[in-house]
């Protein structure tokens, strides 16, 4: 327990850790907007093809980004990747929010925006993990990695709950899903 307190008092780790929690919380909010727009929208009556497309949008970034993330992260400055990646992801999420409100969640442009946003997030999370050895001592690396990834998962779940609250306040339909997606960009 003392090691964890010492780790959390470290300025660089604390900043990286807070970044991870905020990022994964925002990802939970965005995934709630996707689920509410694509899966739980009576206006669109999800069919098997739409359901398969939705799962592809959520899962494909793991296969597309994962194998190549390390190659790029070794060549680019991690600080720059974290700063630029976060801004670009927020912009793409805003585009997805506008698309869901204007053309609906079954339009290919919306699927493309959601795919890009989730792909950027996967790359961003890889950059956070790759930056960890630069901000904690080697003896604390296993603890830092386990705490940050486990807490990040909890933050995603909390973000999903926050997205549900926003959805309840924003109302049903594509407009409500757009508000949830827009709030994800704000987070």
Q: The domain that contains 31 carries what CATH number?
A: 1.20.1250.20
Residue 110 lies in a domain: yes
Torsion sign over Cα 144, 27, 126, 15: negative
Q: What percent of the chain has pLDDT over 70?
A: 93
Residue 152 lies in a domain: yes
Residue 43 vs residue 8, higher pLDDT: 8
Q: What percent of the chain has pLDDT over 90?
A: 28
110 backbone dihedrals φ, ψ, rounded to 5°: -65, -45
Structural domain boundaries, residue 168 = 13-186
Residue 2 lies in a domain: no
Residue 69 lies in a domain: yes
pTM of the model: 0.86
Closest alpha carbon to 181 in 123, 102, 71? 102
What is the spatial distance between Cα 130 and Cα 82, in angstroms, rounded to a whole number? 11
Q: Mean of the per-residue pLDDT values for the chain?
A: 85
Mean pLDDT of 117-139: 87
């Amino acid at each position: 327990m003392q090691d964890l307190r010492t780790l959390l008092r470290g300025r660089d780790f604390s900043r990286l850790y807070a970044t991870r929690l905020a990022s994964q919380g925002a990802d939970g909010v965005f995934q709630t907007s996707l689920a509410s727009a694509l899966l739980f929208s009576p206006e669109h009556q999800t069919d098997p093809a739409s359901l398969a497309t939705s799962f592809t949008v959520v899962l494909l970034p793991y296969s597309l980004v994962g194998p190549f993330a390390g190659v790029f992260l070794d060549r680019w400055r991690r600080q720059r990747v974290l700063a630029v990646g976060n801004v670009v992801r927020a912009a793409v999420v805003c585009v997805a929010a506008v698309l869901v409100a204007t053309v609906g969640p079954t339009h290919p442009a919306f699927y493309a925006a959601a795919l890009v946003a989730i792909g950027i997030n996967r790359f961003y999370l890889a950059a956070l993990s790759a930056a960890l050895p630069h901000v904690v001592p080697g003896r604390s690396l296993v603890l830092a990695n386990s705490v940050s990834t486990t807490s990040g998962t909890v933050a995603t779940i909390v973000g999903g709950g926050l997205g549900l609250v926003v959805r309840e306040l924003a109302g049903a339909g594509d407009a409500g899903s757009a508000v949830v997606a827009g709030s994800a960009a704000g987070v």
